[in-house]
Amino acid sequence: MVLNNERYIEALKVGDRTILQQIYAEFSPAIIRLVMDSGGTRDDARDVFQSALVILFERVRDGALQIPSSFGDLLLSICRRVWRTRFKADTKSKAPVSPDDLSDDIEEDINSEEKNLLFRKHFKLLGAKCQMLLAFFFAGHTIDIICEQMGHQDIDHTLKRKDQCKEKLVLHIKNDPQFTVLAS
Partner 1 sequence: MNQKDIQQQTEHYLRGEMTETERSNFLNAAQQNPALADELAFQQQLFRELGDTEKQQFVAQLASLSGAFFSAPTAASPVLRSISKFILPIVGAGILISILGWYVLTRQQQPASVESARPPDSNGVAMMDGPNVHRVDSTVAMHPMATTPALPDKTPSTAVERPAASTSTVPAADPVDFVPNAYWEGLAARKLVGSDRSIRANARLSGGKKLTLKINMEWPGGETPAPMVVSFYSNKDQDRTAATLLKQVTLELLSQVSDDPASNGKKSYSLEYSAGVNWKPGLYYYVISFEKDAQPILVGKLR
Residues that bind partner 1 (CB under 8 A): 14-15, 17, 20-21, 24-25, 28, 32, 42-43, 45-46, 49-50, 53-54, 57-58, 61, 112, 115-116, 119-120, 123, 128, 131-132, 134-136, 138-141, 145, 149, 169-170, 173
Q: What's the one-letter identity of residue 157?
A: H
Residue 89: CB minimum distance to partner 1, A: 21
CB atoms within 10 A of CB 7: 15
Residue 35: CB minimum distance to partner 1, A: 10
Q: What's the one-letter identity of residue 55?
A: I
CA distance 38 to 96: 7
CB atoms within 10 A of CB 40: 23
Specify the residue, 23 or 106, whose C-beta has the smaller distance to partner 1. Answer: 23
Residue 131: CB minimum distance to partner 1, A: 4
Specify the residue, 5 or 149, whose C-beta has the smaller distance to partner 1. Answer: 149
CA distance 68 to 179: 33
For residues 78 and 41, is the Cβ–Cβ distance under 8 A? no
Residue 157: CB minimum distance to partner 1, A: 18
Specify the residue, 45 or 147, whose C-beta has the smaller distance to partner 1. Answer: 45
